[in-house]
Amino acid sequence: MNDIIISTKGLAKTYGRGTKKVEAVRGIDLEVGRGQIFGLVGPDGAGKTTTMQMLCGILTPTAGEAVIAGVNVVNNADALGGVIGYMSEGFTLYGNLTVGENIDFFADLYNVPPEVAAERKEQLLRFARMEDARNRRAGHLSGGMKKKLALACTLIYRPRVLFLDEPTTGVDPVSRQDFWKILYEFLSEGITIFVSTPYMDEAERCHQVALLRRGQIIANDTPEALKGMLKGVAAELTAIPQTQAIAELRRMPGVSQMQVFGERLHLLLRDGSGLADAIPARLEEAGVTVSEFETTTPSLEDVFIAAIEDLRAADAPGKPVASLPGNGATQADVLSLTPAEVAGAEPAVSARNLTRRFGEMTAVDRLNFTVKRGEIFGFLGPNGSGKTTTIRMLCGLLPPSEGAATVAGFDISRQRVAMKPHLGYMSQKFSLYNDLTVDENIRFYGDVYGLSAKRLADRRAWVLEMAGLTGKEHLLAKDLSGGWKQRLALGCAILHEPEILFLDEPTSGVDPVSRRQFWDLIFALSLQGITIFVTTHYMDEAEHCHDLGLLYRGRLIARGSPAELRQNMKLGVMVEAPVRDPLAALAALEGAVEIIQSSIFGDKLHALVWEAEPGLEAIERVLSVDQLLTAPPRIVPLSLEDLFTLFIEMEESGRKQGVSRSETSS
């Protein structure tokens, strides 16, 4: 574990010359131990991909040196063949080959012995939950399923060092769980993993994490040490009315961060425990009822956001963050709307037995639901469950095979042309033209929507301010960071001020700071009466929605607000257990009769137990044997990620039992 397998000194990369010179990476010094998971995190455009590509010999450094497993990357990059594996953001698949044929191709490319390749192939298909899709062409897969197939093709080869550039972006929570189980198995074989990720819960699982900003490492240590460096304490509370609690907390000096997770508020208090002790009393004096309050361990997301915001404040003191009119809108502001304020005379979206087939495959199976006007409706589901297909039908881009739907009062089959001016659509790929500038993209969409010259000029100025791109109109879209692209795409989607906005995984792969800023924009749009229909794999974002629908294999299997979904889950009690080795702890709990289901949750385990006391005792007893517990287990509320995993596992189990029964009866 102490052997250094990755080492860099002064590693740097510069693009361009003179006034156009860009320092993408500036003097990075790193050491990564053999058998470690090393995490690289940072805002969009920080230099993570450039760093990784230099380490893999794809880019030649401008300065510095790098050694990977004894190979000098700068002088002898060709010698990395057979030593490293690399999965980029822009992964390669062959659309005309089936899922199985793609995996076979990469096994042959990496010279994996046939008998080993066959075993690994079946294992990876199970991990990706793609056994039933092995004979489907890759070109016919959803975006998320393509990503999982690309992961499988990379993992068929087991190198000494594995580089993964945001490998789980766009992948649903269940598959992310499975993916990390595979990574832990790789670790047991002595493989070193170097991973960049926008998911802070994934960064929590790394042995070492480096925070990159503007090409420089500003922090590099274990997750626990990084959290220990954070000034202040974290706290969580449940208060009624929540809107008033937020207003009071905003006025309190020292409350530097606040995030809403359903009924809970998560705070970062820079003034420390003294302020934490005073908060409940201050809120009670203001007429707010505090039902729960506790200080907690800060998360890596707290550390990340605090560090970035401190540096941004130092760079531009007093400069406000560009946003929509109504800056500061929060989930509580939106969710506190009365039904009369949210609901219009007719629903914004109504689907009746909506179905879509592709040949013999049913992608969307008899969906029935309505979405109220002004509502934020969250559409959740595993990759390939039919979310994007549903959105494309509702936007008039794909005709249904059966059933009907209305959007903004228009029939999606008979009134597609009349419907389009009332809709905005932001796809997973941000719907931008990479070879056009910021200004050209805005003007293009203005022409598509038929805006007059005066209206386009007004809306163009608004989009540039909202996206923080004023003065950057000349930049090509392909040269923008993920956060800028995201806000520009949103601006183009709502340039014509639509009534209903469809967002298909709009924050996929975007860093936590940009995600929070984006949702501030969504809240502001919702307060203006715009209906938001959004798909996401981030369960903390699902907490921001008025209503949720969970799709699985094309069918709607659960529906309700986040609170209703929790209340309706009557099965068991959730226990959280901090552990030092999540995979070993997960394996140790298998077969315990007190436990219904368990999963990795950041650097902890979440275990659903039949009853609280016997469950807690069983977890302590089992995990104490190998000293796997790092702190006592405790009862915690069900998170939406817990619910998502449980619903999918139950549906999958029921489906398999149904198949078994049908096979038996035949």
- Is residue 312 in some structural domain? no
Looking at the fold, whether 258 and 345 belong to one and the same domain comes out as: no
486/635 same-domain check: no
- pLDDT tier for residue 465 given thresholds of 50, 70 and 90: confident
Mind giving me the DSSP string for 605-630? Answer: EEEEESSHHHHHHHHHHHHHTTT-BS
Q: Minimal CA–CA distance to 406: which of 459, 379, 444, 368?
A: 368
Quote the pLDDT of residue 321. 40
pLDDT digits (tens, 9 = 90+) for 177-197: 877 887 887 787 788 999 998
* CATH code, domain with 132: 3.40.50.300
In a domain? residue 311: no
**Contact (CB, 8 A) for 37 and 183:** yes
**Average pLDDT for residues 376-398, to the nearest whole number?**
93
**Does residue 468 contact residue 514 with C-beta atoms inside 8 Å?**
no
**Does residue 268 lie in a domain region?**
yes
Shared domain for 222 and 262, answered yes or no, is no
Rounded distance, CA 653 to CA 276, Å?
44
Per residue, the 3-state secondary structure of 547-593, as one string, reads: EEEEEECCEEEEEECHHHHHHHCCCCEEEEEEECCHHHHHHHHCCCC
The last residue of a domain, from among 271, 297, 323: 297
Nearest to 379 by CA among 506, 200, 264, 492: 506
Residue-wise pLDDT for 472-488, tens only, equals: 899 998 888 777 888 89
Query: Is 333 among the domain residues?
Result: no
* Same domain for 171 and 82: yes
Q: Give CA torsion, residues 520, 525, 530, 532, to 10 deg.
A: -20
Are the C-beta atoms of residues 612 and 636 closer than 8 Å to each other? no
Distance CA 148, CA 600 (A): 19
Residue 175 vs residue 573, higher pLDDT: 573
Mean pLDDT to the nearest integer, 630-655: 84
Same domain, 372 and 490: yes
Alpha helices, DSSP H only, in 355-452?
387-394, 416-419, 438-448
Residues of the chain above pLDDT 70, percent: 91
pLDDT at 485: 85
Last residue of a domain, one of 561, 591, 615: 561
Average pLDDT over residues 399-404: 96
Q: Mark whether 348 and 470 lie in a shared domain.
A: yes
What pLDDT, on a 0 to 100 scale, did the predictor assign at position 653? 72
Which residues touch 323 (CB under 8 Å, ≥6 apart)?
466, 517, 520, 521, 524
The three-class DSSP label of residue 600 is strand
What are the tens digits of pLDDT across the range 231-285? 888 898 988 888 788 888 988 888 888 877 767 788 888 766 678 889 999 999 9
- Give the residue from 196, 211, 226 where a domain finishes: 226
| Closest-CA residue to 362 (of 371, 354, 370) | 354
Q: Residue 24 above 70 pLDDT?
A: yes
Q: What residue type is assigned to position 156 of the chain?
A: I
Is 519 domain-assigned?
A: yes
CATH number, domain of 582, equals 3.30.70
Residues 425 and 525 in one domain: yes
- Sign for the CA dihedral angle at 471, 474, 477, 481 comes to negative
CATH number of the domain to which 287 belongs: 3.30.70.100
* 640 and 499 in a common domain: no
Assigned domain for 643 exists: yes
Question: Are the beta carbons of 73 and 80 closer than 8 angstroms?
Answer: yes
Q: Is the CB of residue 647 less than 8 Å from the CB of residue 569? A: no
Boundaries of domain holding 651: 565-665
Same domain, 84 and 200: yes
* Residue 302 forms part of a structural domain: no
Give a yes or no: residue 130 inside a domain: yes
